[in-house]
Amino acid sequence: MYHKPVLLNEVLEHLKVNKNAKYIDATLGDGGHATEILKMGGTVLGLDVNPEALQRAADRIKELGLDENFTGVTGNFKDIEQIALSNGFEAVSGVLFDLGYSTYELEESNIGLSFLEDQPLDMRLDSTLGVTAADLVNALPEERLANIMFNYSDERMSRRFAKAIVEARKLKKIQTTRQLAEIIKSAAPSDYERGRINPATRTFQALRIAVNNELENLENSLPRAARLLLPGGRIVVISFHSLEDGIVKQFGLDAQPKLSKVVKKPLVPTEEEISENPRARSAKMRVFERCAE
């Protein structure tokens, strides 16, 4: 029923959850990590840009009888500092960023994050954002589309796929995930990535990043989150592709000496976790600690 949280044991261990200490889950999703922090006695501020996701997690937390120490806020983590200050979380023991999408968001949210279901080509996690994925694929020049695919997902067939999209939209407006996935599939060579991934995978990733301004938001959010930490407090970040991980790694370097790196190399899921939850396979977790003044 609920998304299985990635690297759960590692998150709890490295956040060093203490009773009555305050934590921020900047990417609440289904609340998998947050519920476990609450069970351990932590007080949690949960953020999510999607009000439906927030309500779903809040209902789950209430059903478990853990809502007394939980505050849920609809908002983007780029505004984490302002949201935290408004809700009494100006000094916290830990902040968690899990940058993956929940199963609910990918399959049931009806905003077209995945090509596994035929849904409107929207991709906005925050419905107040003005531009949808359909807007991009139907309006951007071919070169801009190719650049988005290449820069945000390292799609080597970006120019080929962009050309196919532009040709297809001349005949009919591209409005659904299935339409876009079929256009890309028809343009892909038969041996694309030796069959390891669907040809549409990287294009959908790139569009999600572009629509939701994910990389810039992450870059802005991390130093703001760091300012909320008590001495000894930690930031834990789980990323799922190299661009995100690169931003997190650079943040750690830029934040020295105020923050120190807790783990030398990113933590990754065990083979056992990957077998139980294949979506965890690309996860990388970095941990930073606020140094004493």
Return binding residues for S-adenosyl-L-methionine: 31-33, 48, 77, 98
DSSP code, position 72: E
Return the H-helix or E-strand segment holding 86: helix 80-86
Place of tokens 């000094």: 91
Distances (CA, A) of 41 to 8, 44, 233: 16, 9, 16
Distances (CA, A) of 83 to 77, 101, 126: 9, 22, 16
Binding-site residue positions: 31-33, 48, 77, 98
Distances (CA, A) of 218 to 74, 133, 255: 17, 20, 15
> How large is the angle between the packed helices 32-39 and 8-15, nearest 10 degrees?
50
Return the H-helix or E-strand segment holding 70: strand 70-74
Identify whether the C-beta of residue 262 lies closer than 8 Å to the C-beta of residue 231: no
Exposed, middle or buried: residue 20 (CB in 10 Å: 0-12, 13-18, 19+)? Answer: exposed
